[in-house]
Structure formats: structure tokens, C-alpha cells
Amino acid sequence: MRDNIILLAHGAGGLKSADLLREVFLPHFANDVLCQMADAAVLEGGVGRLAFTTDSFVIDPLIFPGGDIGKLAVCGTINDLACAGAMPLALSAAFILEEGLEIATLSKLVASMGETARAAGVRIVAGDTKVVPRGSADRLFITTSGIGLLPEHRPLPAPHRAQPGDAVLLSGTLADHGMAVMTSREGLQFTSQIRSDCAPLAGLVAGLLDAVPDVHCLRDPTRGGLAAVLNELAAASSVCIEVEEERIPVHADVRVACELLGIDPLHVANEGKMVAIVPADAADAALAAFHSHPAGQDAAIIGTVQPTPAARVHLRTPLGSLRILDVPAGDLLPRIC
């Protein structure tokens, strides 16, 4: 690893994030569960199969169109459990508070967490709070952990299960969250306000699994966006994933914002979308399941899994040509989740 200090790019979900994980964390933490590199760990035990996950949230600004750091913390953890095919049961929440944070702001964010958790049918059952001196943090950081119950007799989605011939689905429009945060942060004004897609997706995934019990892969395209997620799945399964650019849904105002800022929407973080890879003969059923849920109204089948070249993602352009869709190398939008 050539870097001597932590850079913002190490937290962007791209190449430097992968280097940090591979060269700093995995040599000391590696085990058969962690090395599967899934969104949530699957644990075997006397109480049945459990999924467990943890995440930290450091977004700026704390409140943005369509959400806030509290809602984001709950949704992000629920969605990681859903990616493992688990029904979320309970969350814990730890808060790092900077001296000087307004209590009214904290109260609003905590209320948002509680409301989001109740609406998703999940309890926040444990927590911790620490206060650090002014200048030691940026107002508020939240770490959440979650546990979920896995079905006993159902194949579980996993990053390594994509197979040639599979269909690739996306549950809705790309880049809503990242561009909502960016435009709010920079004070940019558009004809219509761009809103984050931040939402809990356990219900969406439950409906999908009822319709298609053997979903091969599930992933929520957060940091690094769709491009990062597809590259991770292609590498884990040693396959090539080919997606059609014209099939990928993007709201018109989000597309305009991305073009003005010179940002590829396929590299932008999302917080209320799901990528699913399913057997080809189950693609229509999966799409119908997505469409039946409020969060999946804009879902689309966006591509297929090919046998070669392994660990590669191709994007077919409207002109019919293929180009390689790489993982973003740097941090397009720091402090995005």
C-alpha cells in the first residue's frame, strides 16, 4: 500500500477502499465469515441462522432533502441485513457527539431514527453516547449494528453466486441520494428539488424472495454506486456482468445535475436501491415483485451475466459499443453516508 496516511479516497468504496481493507484490516481480522465480503455476516448457532452487520455514518450535511443522518443510519443497516436475505430484528446505535452540537438538532435526528425504525418494524435495543471536545469531530457521527433472522430452508444470496445466464435487476433510479446531498451541500438550485432515495428495503427484499426463493446475489449500491457493486460481484463470482446503459433508470433532473458537475451517475451513492441477480427464468417474476413495492416502481432488468472475461463489467452504450465499467478510483463525493 503506497499511501502513508489515510486519504478521503480510502472511504469512497473504490480502489483505495479495497486496498485498505485487503492490506490493513483483513490480515488481522480474516476468518471464513468475514472473507466472504458480504454486506452482512451469516452466523450459525443454537438459535438458528443469524445475520449481523455494522456501519458508521458521517454524512455532511446532517439533514438533506429526503432524509437525515438518523434515517440514513437505520436504513443503511436494515438494507445490509436485507442483502443477506435476513429479516431485520433489532439494531444498536452509538453516537459520537461534538461539544457544541445543538440539542434541538440531536433531538430531531433521534426522533427521525425512531420513526424510521418503527415504520420498518425494527427495534433499537441498545446504544451508547460519547461526547468529544469541540473540534474533535464534526457535530455528530453514528454507528449502528443490526441483527436479523435468516430462513432455515432457503438458499441465501451471496456475492459469489452469480452464474452465466443470470439476469441483473436494479430496483429503481440511480444517484438520487448522492446528488441530493451534493446539491444541498453546495447550495445548487434546479427546477425541481432532488431528493434522496433513503429508505428501508427489507419489505422490498422479502417480496422478492417470496417470488424468487433462490436469488443469487443482492447488494445495495451505496458508496461507489452501481459501478462498484457490479465490479465486486463480478470479481467474487469470476464472471463478466454486462449492463445496458439505456435500461438503467435515472431521473431527468438527476441526470442534468450529474452532467453539469461532470459526474457519472453509475458512480454515485444510493441509499434506497437494490441490485439483484437472479436466474434468467425468474427475471420476470423478480421484476414484478419489485414493481409491486412502493420502492420498486422504477425497477428494470438492466443486464445479464456472461462467463468471460472474468471479474469484468461491461457497459453497452446506446450506439451498441461496449466499454469497461471500472470501479471509481477516488472519492467523487466525500462524507456521503
Among 258, 235, 229, 78, residue whose Cα is nearest residue 168: 229
The pLDDT assigned to 49 comes to 87
Q: What is the bridge-based pairing of β-strands 87-98 and 123-132? A: parallel
Report percent pLDDT > 70 for the chain. 97
Q: The pTM is what?
A: 0.90
Angle, CA of 311, 313 and 318, to the nearest 5°: 165
In this predicted model, what pLDDT tens digit does every residue of 184-196 receive, in sequence order?
Answer: 988 877 767 899 9
DSSP assignment string, 77-105: HHHHHHHTT-EEEEEEEEEEEETT--HHH
Domain(s) labelled CATH 3.90.650.10 in the chain stretch across 159-324
Rounded mean pLDDT, 158-167: 98
Domain(s) labelled CATH 3.30.1330.10 in the chain stretch across 31-149
pLDDT band at 16 (very low <50, low <70, confident <90, very high): confident
Greater confidence, 330 or 297?
A: 297
Rounded mean pLDDT, 235-243: 98
In this predicted model, what pLDDT tens digit does every residue of 278-288 receive, in sequence order?
Answer: 999 999 999 99
The pLDDT assigned to 45 comes to 64
Q: Domain 31-149: give its CATH superfamily.
A: PurM-like, N-terminal domain (3.30.1330.10)
Whole-angstrom Cα distance, residue 213 to residue 323? 33
Whole-angstrom Cα distance, residue 300 to residue 282? 14
Greater confidence, 187 or 135?
A: 135
The pLDDT assigned to 315 comes to 98
Q: Has residue 142 got a pLDDT over 90?
A: yes
The pLDDT assigned to 21 comes to 80
Q: Has residue 47 got a pLDDT over 70?
A: no
Rounded mean pLDDT, 26-45: 79
Rounded mean pLDDT, 220-239: 97
Rounded mean pLDDT, 226-234: 97
Whole-angstrom Cα distance, residue 240 to residue 139? 43
Going by the DSSP 8-state scheme, the letter that residue 328 receives in this structure is P
Rounded mean pLDDT, 309-320: 96
Q: Domain 159-324: give its CATH superfamily.
A: PurM-like C-terminal domain (3.90.650.10)
